[in-house]
Amino acid sequence: MAVEELLVIDVEAEEPGSGLEFFVTGCSGFIGTHLVTRLLDSGHTVTGYDLVQPAYHHENFDFVQGDILDLERLRASVVKPDGIFHLAAQTKVPNSTRDPSYDFQVNARGTFNVLSCASGATFVYASTSTVYGTAVTPTPEGHVMRPVSFYGASKAAGELYCSAFNGIFGLPTTALRLYNVYGPGNAKGVMYDLIRKLQRDDSHLEILGTGLQKKDYVYIDDAIDAFLLAYDRGVPGEAYNIGSGSAITVNEIAKLICQMMDLHPDVRYTGGKSWEGDIESTQADISYFTSFGWRPRIDIESGMRQLYNWMQTQL
**Which residues of the shown chain bind ligand NAD in the complex (CB under 6 A)?**
26, 28-32, 50-52, 67-69, 87-91, 106, 110, 126, 128, 155, 178, 180-181
- Least Å from the CB of residue 96 to ligand NAD: 10
Nearer to ligand NAD, 3 or 88 (CB): 88
- Least Å from the CB of residue 264 to ligand NAD: 29
Nearer to ligand NAD, 35 or 254 (CB): 35
Nearer to ligand NAD, 121 or 220 (CB): 220
**Torsion from C-alpha of 22, 28, 30, 31, nearest 10 degrees:** -10
The residue length of the chain stands at 315
- Least Å from the CB of residue 11 to ligand NAD: 26
Report the largest interatomic distance among the alpha carbons of the chain, rounded to a whole angstrom.
60
Q: Which residues of 285-312 are buried (b: 16+ CB within 10 A; e: fewer)?
A: bbebbeebebebebebeebbebbbebbe
Nearer to ligand NAD, 269 or 288 (CB): 288
Which residue in the shown chain puts its C-beta closest to ligand NAD?
Answer: 29
- Least Å from the CB of residue 36 to ligand NAD: 11
- Cα 233 to Cα 41, 224, 226: the distances in Å are 20, 14, 10
- Least Å from the CB of residue 24 to ligand NAD: 10
- Least Å from the CB of residue 106 to ligand NAD: 5
Residue 315, classified by CB atoms within 10 Å of its CB into exposed (0-12), middle (13-18) or buried (19+), is exposed
Nearer to ligand NAD, 74 or 198 (CB): 74
Name residues whose C-beta falls within 8 Å of residue 280's C-beta, 6 or more positions apart in sequence: 209, 212, 213, 214, 215, 273, 274
Nearer to ligand NAD, 43 or 110 (CB): 110
Strands (E) across the chain are located at: 21-25, 45-50, 61-65, 83-86, 122-128, 173-178, 180-182, 204-207, 214-215, 217-219, 238-242, 248-249, 266-269
